[in-house]
Structure 1
Amino acid sequence: METLAKKVPIPRNSRLKTYYDTKEIIQNTSEYNFFPANATRNVTRDNYINNPFPGEESRRVVGLSFELISQFLEDDAANSIDVEAIMNGIKDAGIILTADNDYKEFVRTTMSEHFNFAGTRLNIRAAAASDGGTAPSLVSSVERTVIAKNADMYRLPDPFDVAPNQTIDLKVVFEDSSVFPTSANWTAAGQPKLWLRANLFIAEMKKGS
């Protein structure tokens, strides 16, 4: 998937803005709706006010990306944290981007098209144990750590315009949400909870431009 970079045509007299919304991903919850009508007003979770976005500007949605807020995830079998299963569960997710309460559909694709999996690393470290004799050491445990990459700006193949009074609806659907730990699992493991952020890249055009 090509990144946005300088290859997306931005209308003259417009400014490119990034709006984000963040959801905690928890076990056995398969669907998440990003950018609900009213934001939390917590800048660590979202940076928009409401949806439809306020103001008289016309808007062109040119890019979409997702990223994990916690960039380091570690295996913890005692607390049901399997980082490889978690990343595979995220990669298999579906994305649906619509407007006007699902009346107009613009994007239907997979998370792999809008998440920087190429820059995400899975590190594996094996620990060996010996019986103190002449027998070779045996692998006693395997530790896996995911190092997630920040989001790139993935362009939409077909940018679309939305009017000032139109809503933008973004849904993420996980095929198997049982692979995700519970909030209590993360807390017991001493790790941050699993937060997924959606970034919308929007060219805002003044009225009459």
Structure 2
Amino acid sequence: MNTPLPAALAGLALLLAVPTSAGAQDPAALQAEGAALIKEYADTLGAALKGAIDRDGPAGAIGVCHEAAPRIAAEIGSRSGWTIRRTSLKARNPSAQPSPYERAVLEEFQSRLAGGGDIATLTRAETVEENGGKVFHLVKAIPTAELCLACHGTTLKPEVKAKLDDLYPGDAATGFKAGDMRGAFSFAKRL
């Protein structure tokens, strides 16, 4: 004869049997969640950059990337549980150097572009084993827009070059043309 669990233990057993978030390991749900967060991050950062350029010119936008971009990423990451970064094969900020995983994805994206691929389709979403656990990665290419060329193009104004040299000695994130892949949004969530 089975004896029923006391109410408190029954409630605990039910709580432990229910995942903490619906679809927490469903790749399609994770991809949709990550895509929405990428859009939020890109839109928020883009608005801040445009506002700074309108107010202070391109040199003013450099401060947004230097200070506001990490803050925006941290705020969204803290709220969502995702690790949020921008990375590039030609990084401006040493902390934006790609991890081995990100480098492989960025190199694959470059190959696809060289073969005539559409930058708008350059996204990879997958779960990988990392550091003894599973991590869902969502990486999406960042195209270089006309707006970006003031700080990432081939010809920079002296005040822009001076500000970049001051904040980012060893900057490699110039020489881009409109439509080039400047880097990628790299979002990760430990499962």
TM-score range, shorter chain: under 0.3
More helix by share: 2
RCO comparison, higher one (Cα < 8 Å, 6+): 1
More strand by share: 1
